[in-house]
Each structure stands twice: as structure tokens, then as C-alpha cells.
Chains A and B, each alone.
Chain A
Amino acid sequence: MAEATATGGKKSEAFVLSPEKLRRQRITKFIGEGVLLAVASFVAIVVLFIFYFVAVDAIPFFQQRGFVEFFTSTGWYPADEPGEFGALAIIYGSGMVTMGSALIAVPLGISAAICLSDVLPFSVRQYAKPVIEMLAAIPSVAYGFFALVIFAPLLQNYGGPILMWAWWLIAGPFVFLAVIVVGDLLTSKGGDGSKRKIVRIVLTGALAFLATLFLYWVGQTLFAIQILSGTNALNVSLILSFMALPTIVSVSEDSLQAVGRELREGSYALGATRAETIVKTVLPAASSGILAAVILGIMRALGETMVVWMASGNSSHIPEPWFNYLDSIRTLTATIAGDMGEADQVTGSERYHVLFAMGLLLLVFSFISNLVSERIVLRQRKILSGE
């Protein structure tokens, strides 16, 4: 026994590291890990750093002017002496374009994601996905240029016809679908076979006629609209929706993919068609992930600067009536980008600090929605893997 250990100890010098080498290795390990930890925490600290520095420059504004004017007044005259710093209209403008772009991007994005993940064959998907991702690769200033130089004049010159066509294309199918469904529902009870059929056809026909009249009337009303300026909330919302689209598509596609094959196959086995499988099984399972995608997409639209600065008209008022998307608006990001050039010359004034207050508002909002969306995704992952 003793001999064995002795020989073992002798041999160990050959391939077990000497104490000195071991120590050196431990030091390298310590330093290496320390450096890595430092770098990783640097990244985390950057966020706090951003928060701190934006807040430090925002607080003087609130100290001097309080919160009431900033959040409740629409008077934005920063260059006056004394200036007015009511940001309500600007906050409203931000909300308006974000809302508008979400209205377009969310249905479009979700149905595109479903189509990519469940409907299209792999060969088509291979090409469709990079095309949608390309929308994300285009720089925002190119979108801004497009909105300003190409889309705005188009909207200004052919606004009415464009609106009418959009109305027919978007509302038309829905209205006719509704007509068929209502016709079905109204005649689903009572009467037998052929008689019911006739009643249904007549009823549906009458409804369709009314619906066409309605569509036509709204279409003509839209046709008659003269858009005074092409740089308005509608223009910006449309462009922003296509900028937010790739985010929504890729995140919701990920969450659709995360719903395993088992659920889909179970549904198919029960005889469901693909549409039924997706709507009744896959979508509910992926709903939280899709919600997170929507939040991220909305954040993308809210934080976008160049397009709104170039093409929203930049007039800080709440449109009349409040849902008038054909009016020009001004957003938080555009105000920061646009006013800083002048405000920076007078560093220390309220005019400079109010822009940081807006930045802080954006920052807080983006943090909250990011945390919420992350929580949602985490919960979905847990539920899907847990069961």
C-alpha cells in the first residue's frame, strides 16, 4: 500500500501539474473569469448608465416646471420666452402613429407568420422569409425618403382614389363574408329544405345589395376627400407598419414553431382541417408569444425616429377630430431629433432638459413593455415545456 502511493507520487510529477503551475493556472482562471465578468456587467451597467444620464438631465425640467404642464397642455412653444412645454399633443401623436401602424401591421404580420410557419411549403418559405427579413435590413432613412419623396406626393395627388381602393380591398371581402354569415344565421332555423334555400338566397341577395350600397357610399365619400398634405399620420403609420412587420413576423413565427408537432398532429388526427388546427389549437397555444411579438413590433414603431421626423408634418397639435389620420402630427422621437439641434446651443435651459424628459418617457415605456413581453415569452415556454 505504502509502496504503491510512493510510486504513484513519483509518477505524478510526469503528468500532474506542479503546485506552481497549478497556481499559475488558478490565477489565469481568476483573471480570465474576472475580465469576462467585468465585461458582461459592463453591458448591464450601460443600461443603468443610460437611464441615469437621461434622468439626470430630465429631472431639472420637472423640478422647474412640474409634471402638470408637460402631461396636460398642448401648447408647445419651446422657442418662446418664457417657453411653453406642453407635450400632450406630442405624446398623443406618438400614440396615434403607433396605434395606426399596429392596426395595419398586427393582422398582416400574424397572418404572414402563420402562413410562413404552417401553410407554405418549405420551398416557397425559403424565399418568402428572407424577403420579409429584408424589410428589416432597409435603413430607416430610406423609408423616410420613400415616405417623403414618393409616398407623400402620391397621397397628396391621388389621396381620394387611393383611400377608396384601400377601402374596397380591405373592407369589401369582410363585408361580403359578413353578409354570407348573417344570411346563414338568420335562416338556420325553421322551414324545410328547398323553401329555406330560397329564403336564404333572397335574404343574402338583399343583404349583399345593401352592403354594396354601403361600401359604395363610403367609397365615394373617401374618393371625394382631398388630402391637403401628404406628410401626415396615415403616411407615417403605413410606413412604420412595414418597418414593424419583420419583428412581428419573426417573433410570432418563432412562437408558432415552439408549439410542438404533437399538438398539431393530435388535432389533425381528430379530423380537423389545417385552418381549424391553426385557429383552434396552434394559435391559442402560441398566443402569449404572439402578444410578445406585437409588443415588440409596437415598440419598434414607437421608437422610430427618421420616418416620423421626415414625413409626419411635425405640427404639434391633436388632430381635429381626434381620429383624423389625414392630419399632420408630431411625435416624441421626432421632437427630440428636431429640437435638439437648436436646444443644444443653450445647454442647461429648460428647452434642452425637456427633450431629455421626453427621452426618459420613451425609455421607461420601452423598459416596461420589454419586461412585460419577456415575462410573457418565458411563461409560454414554461407552459409548453411543462406539459
Chain B
Amino acid sequence: MNKSTKQAGAGSSGTSRRERTIDIVNKRLEKRYRNEKRFRLYGLLSIMASVAFLMFLLTSIVGNGYTAFLQTYIKLDVQLEQGMIDKENPGRSDFQGIIKQAIRAYYPEVNDRKERRELYALFSSGAAFQLRDAVLKDPALSGTTVSLWVLADDDVDMLMKGHIKRDVPESERRLNNRQLQWIGKLEAEKRIEKRFNTTFFTAGDSREPELAGIWGAVKGSFYTMLVTLALSFPIGIAAAVYLEEFAPKNLATDFIEVNINNLAAVPSIVFGLLGLAVFLNFFGMPRSTPLVGGIVLMLMTLPTIIIASRAALKAVPPSIREAALGVGSSKLQVVTSHVLPLALPGMLTGTIIGMAQALGETAPLLMIGMVAFIVDVPGGFTDPAAVMPVQIYLWADSPERAFVERTSAAIMVLLAFLISMNALAVVMRKRFERRW
């Protein structure tokens, strides 16, 4: 301001004074508008950067993982001769041997021991289990020839999906030229194809990528979340109700409030330390179980639930409380029959968001031993279990290429859960939010 008037004064000798001032102001204005534009651009750029990062992350995970939903199967004609299946106990027959025989029958030209081993390696060890299941389901198959689509080995699967390139030198490829030839024969006779990968959604963990699935982890996560929900929802809501409706304004209340915020700030790994030191080593609870995992995650989700619930309670206008008090209800009745029902949607929203956080948490669970390799699908709260993020972590550490795509696919499944939970929370907030 000062500068422009001074300059205007200096230049007033020659030209008309008013014009000069306007010129200067306009010039400055132009500059200021340019600044304004640049400023806006920075903000937009930073938002774009985060959106771009998110897009990059999601597309690379989806791009890596979508192929895992398909799995390569090979059609095998298995001759089940009468003597092969144990009559008394069909489940204990030598299915591995039968499968090998069927493979040999399809490739009669392969005789060398080493070559045979390479040939068998094209088929998953799960093929024998598939055959067993088929026979147990229908004992009449004995004595006939069964056309069975069996699981291909993960290397064959990777080849069919293009992750193993055919044109690289043989020494750098996981499948040698002979094996490629055998696969070529299958392809020519249309005996190899990709189908929807049901194993991925129904099996527990496995060392063999083609046999590994997320069902065990999903169930583990489910039990863990159940424990977390059962503990953190009532505790969180009770604490919020106390702090919002009953707490006197004194030091003790302040102390509680500060500590709730402190709890929110505790790094997640420290909750794991606590779980290890207290629940496992002190109370001797069973290791790697949904029970302990759920308790640890409960402590983590509490602050989220409490803070959201308090906001929901705050949003209920005082007039409702006063009206209820006015017709003679007690403080407790006011809360239970008027305030709580009105605040419940907001509290549920907070709970869902807290649960979503807990579902994605890994670090504290590593501390309490949920990182063990567990094949069986857990059946209860005290069975050793893996949860989905830990399963992802375990697979991410595995060297096989097939596990990379399965890891991505598991992340996609987990993200689908998380995003739908968050979306549900948003929808609920929109739906039940009341403006008073």
C-alpha cells in the first residue's frame, strides 16, 4: 500500500496522477491473481499427488493379484482298476501312485527316472487329494476311467499366466524345455485350462501356492473380530456414556480423558508387547489364538469407539434430556431410553470404523505368536489361527512367484472387506444423521 502511493506520488509530475495509481494497482493486482492461481495449483497438486499414489498402489496390487482368482487345471484320464482302491478303507488307497500311473500312461515316451520326476512336478501334490475326494464321494468310480481336472503345479500355473516367460534361456527358467514340450502337448489337446480358483477361498495356508487359501485366515479374523467387538463395544459405549452424561468436572475425569487420548497414541507394536508380557507370559493364555488377539485389538480400538461415541452423544440436543427429566425420569432412565437410542447410529458408525482398523492391524499380532504357520482352519476362539493381515505378511515373505499374486489377491480381499466396512459406516452416518 505504502509503496504504491509513494511511487504514484513520485510519478505524478508528468502524467495524470489518477491513471498512474490505477496502473500500479492493476499491475499489482495481476501479480496477486497470479499468486492466487499458483497457490491454488499447489493445493491441487498435493491432492493429486495423494490420489495418484493411491491409484498407483491400488492398480499395482490389483494388476499383480487378479490372476490369482484363476488357477490352471489339467485334465487327466485316470484308470481306476478294480484292485487299486482299497475296498475296506477306500480313503487309504495309494492315490499318489494312481495319479503317477495316469501321468505315465499319458506320456508313454518318458522312461528316464529323472525325466519322470520332472514330469510329475507339473502336477500339484494336491491332485491325489482331489482323486481321493472324488472316489470317496462316488465309490462306483472304481473300475472305470475317470476324467479328472487336477490342479497344476504353481510353476505351470505361472507359465500359463505369463509370469514365467517361455523365451528366456532355459537355465533362467523354472521349467526346462522338456517340461515346456509336455505342456505343449497338453495345450494342443486342450487338456489344460484356467478356471476359477475355488481353492483360494476354501483352503487354509499351505507351503504349496496352488493349495494355499485364505479361508483359514478369514475365519481366524472372524473369531478375532468377534472377541474384539464383544469386548470393545460395551466397554467403549459405557465409557463414553459416563464421560459425556455422568462425569463430574474434576481431576479424575480429566485424568480419564487424557488417558483415553494417550491410549490412542500408543504405537501398535507396544500393544503387542503388552499382550506378550501380560496375557501370554503372566496369565498363561494360549498362544496364537483369536482370544488373545481379540483382547489386544480391543485395547487398540477402544479409543476410536469412545471418541466417536462421545461425539454421537454430544450431538443429541440437551432439550431432549431436559424434556425427559421434566416428566420425572431419573438420570439413568434419560440415558437408557432417550439419549442412547438417538446416539446409537453414531456409536455404531464409530464401532465399525474401529473394527475396520482392528481388522487391518498386523504388528501387535506378530508379538503374540499369530505369525505361526497354521494349516488347519480354526474352529474356535482357542484354536491357533492366523488372521488375514498376518497371512498376507507371511505370504509376502515367501519366495515363490505364485505367492506374490496370491498375496496381492489376499490384499484385495482384505481391502474389499475394509472398504465395504468404511462405506457402510459412511452410509449409516448419512442415513441416520439427524440435524436438530
Q: A residues within 8 Å of B by Cβ? A: 15, 25, 28-29, 32-33, 35-37, 39-44, 46-50, 53-54, 56-57, 107-109, 111-112, 114-116, 119-120, 128, 130-135, 137-146, 148-150, 242, 245, 273-276, 278-279, 296, 299, 302-306, 309-310, 333, 336-337, 340-341, 344, 347, 355-356, 359, 362-363, 366-367, 369-371, 374
- Interface core residue of A40, A116, A137, A302 (most chain B CB under 10 Å): A40
Chain A CB within 8 A of B385 CB: no
Docked pose: A54 CA to B278 CA in angstroms = 9
Residues 233-260 of B contacting A (Cβ, < 8 Å): 234-235, 238-239, 241-243, 246-247, 252, 255-256, 258-260
Given contacts A40-B247, A242-B53, A306-B362, contact A137 B258 (CB under 8 A): no
Contact, CB under 8 Å: B271 / A141: no
Docked pose: A165 CA to B151 CA in angstroms = 45
Chain A CB within 8 A of B186 CB: no
Chain A CB within 8 A of B375 CB: no
Nearest 9 interchain pairs by C-beta: A115-B43, A303-B267, A139-B360, A305-B363, A370-B265, A36-B242, A275-B39, A44-B259, A39-B238
The interface stretch among B66-74, B163-171, B202-210, B414-422 is: B414-422
Docked pose: A135 CA to B53 CA in angstroms = 9
| A372 CB, min distance to chain B CBs, angstroms | 11
Q: B residues within 8 Å of A by Cβ? A: 32-33, 35-36, 38-40, 42-47, 49-51, 53-54, 57, 60-61, 64, 234-235, 238-239, 241-243, 246-247, 252, 255-256, 258-274, 276-278, 281-282, 299, 302, 306, 328, 330-332, 356, 359-363, 366-367, 369, 371, 389-390, 392-393, 396, 404, 407-408, 411, 414-415, 418-419, 422, 426
Chain B residues with Cβ below 8 Å from A356 are 273, 277
Contact, CB under 8 Å: A359 / B242: no
- Mostly, the A contact residues are helix
| A91 CB, min distance to chain B CBs, angstroms | 14
| B96 CB, min distance to chain A CBs, angstroms | 34
Chain B residues with Cβ below 8 Å from A310 are 393, 396
Q: List 16 A-B contacts (CB under 8 A).
A: A28-B330, A29-B332, A39-B235, A39-B238, A49-B274, A57-B277, A139-B361, A145-B61, A149-B404, A273-B32, A274-B36, A276-B36, A336-B273, A340-B276, A344-B369, A356-B273
Neighbour of A111 across the interface among B42, B265, B392, CB < 8 A: B42
| B326 CB, min distance to chain A CBs, angstroms | 14
Contact, CB under 8 Å: A366 / B54: no
Neighbour of A43 across the interface among B38, B53, B235, B247, CB < 8 A: B235
Contact, CB under 8 Å: B270 / A50: yes
Docked pose: A132 CA to B246 CA in angstroms = 36
Neighbour of A50 across the interface among B61, B241, B274, B366, CB < 8 A: B274
Contact, CB under 8 Å: B415 / A138: yes
Determine the residue in chain B with the shortest Cβ distance to A305. B363
Contact, CB under 8 Å: B360 / A146: no
Chain B residues with Cβ below 8 Å from A15 are 328
Beyond known contacts A142-B392, A245-B50: 15 more, CB 8 A cutoff: A29-B332, A32-B332, A41-B252, A46-B299, A53-B282, A111-B46, A116-B43, A137-B360, A138-B57, A139-B414, A143-B57, A337-B363, A356-B273, A362-B270, A370-B265
Contact, CB under 8 Å: B266 / A36: no
Neighbour of A53 across the interface among B39, B274, B369, CB < 8 A: B274
Contact, CB under 8 Å: B408 / A145: yes
Chain B residues with Cβ below 8 Å from A50 are 263, 266, 270-271, 274, 299
- Mostly, the B contact residues are helix
Docked pose: A25 CA to B39 CA in angstroms = 62
Neighbour of B256 across the interface among A41, A133, A139, A299, CB < 8 A: A41
Docked pose: A369 CA to B274 CA in angstroms = 21
Contact, CB under 8 Å: B256 / A40: yes
Docked pose: A144 CA to B390 CA in angstroms = 12
Determine the residue in chain B with the shortest Cβ distance to A132. B50
Chain A residues with Cβ below 8 Å from B419 are 134, 137
Contact, CB under 8 Å: A44 / B256: yes
Neighbour of A135 across the interface among B50, B64, B363, B404, CB < 8 A: B50
Chain B residues with Cβ below 8 Å from A366 are 262, 265-267
| B389 CB, min distance to chain A CBs, angstroms | 4
Chain B residues with Cβ below 8 Å from A302 are 267
Contact, CB under 8 Å: A47 / B259: yes
Docked pose: A299 CA to B264 CA in angstroms = 11
| A373 CB, min distance to chain B CBs, angstroms | 9
Contact, CB under 8 Å: A53 / B278: yes
Determine the residue in chain B with the shortest Cβ distance to A143. B57
| B270 CB, min distance to chain A CBs, angstroms | 5
Determine the residue in chain B with the shortest Cβ distance to A26. B330
Chain B residues with Cβ below 8 Å from A41 are 252, 256
Given contacts A115-B43, A142-B411, A142-B415, contact A43 B259 (CB under 8 A): yes
Determine the residue in chain A with the shortest Cβ distance to B372. A341
Given contacts A107-B46, A131-B51, contact A46 B415 (CB under 8 A): no
Chain B residues with Cβ below 8 Å from A111 are 42-43, 45-46
| A21 CB, min distance to chain B CBs, angstroms | 11
Docked pose: A275 CA to B408 CA in angstroms = 43
Chain A residues with Cβ below 8 Å from B259 are 43-44, 46-48
Given contacts A54-B273, A139-B418, A142-B414, contact A306 B47 (CB under 8 A): no
Given contacts A40-B256, A43-B259, contact A303 B269 (CB under 8 A): yes
Contact, CB under 8 Å: B371 / A341: yes
Docked pose: A275 CA to B246 CA in angstroms = 45
Docked pose: A140 CA to B306 CA in angstroms = 23
Docked pose: A28 CA to B331 CA in angstroms = 11
- Interface core residue of B60, B242, B258, B407 (most chain A CB under 10 Å): B242
Chain B residues with Cβ below 8 Å from A36 are 238-239, 241-242, 246
Chain B residues with Cβ below 8 Å from A107 are 46
Neighbour of A149 across the interface among B36, B64, B252, B276, CB < 8 A: B64
Contact, CB under 8 Å: B43 / A362: no
- Interface core residue of A32, A370, A371 (most chain B CB under 10 Å): A32
Chain A residues with Cβ below 8 Å from B33 are 273
Determine the residue in chain A with the shortest Cβ distance to B418. A137
Contact, CB under 8 Å: A137 / B51: no
| A161 CB, min distance to chain B CBs, angstroms | 16
Contact, CB under 8 Å: A137 / B299: no
Chain B residues with Cβ below 8 Å from A112 are 43, 46-47, 50
Contact, CB under 8 Å: B362 / A139: yes
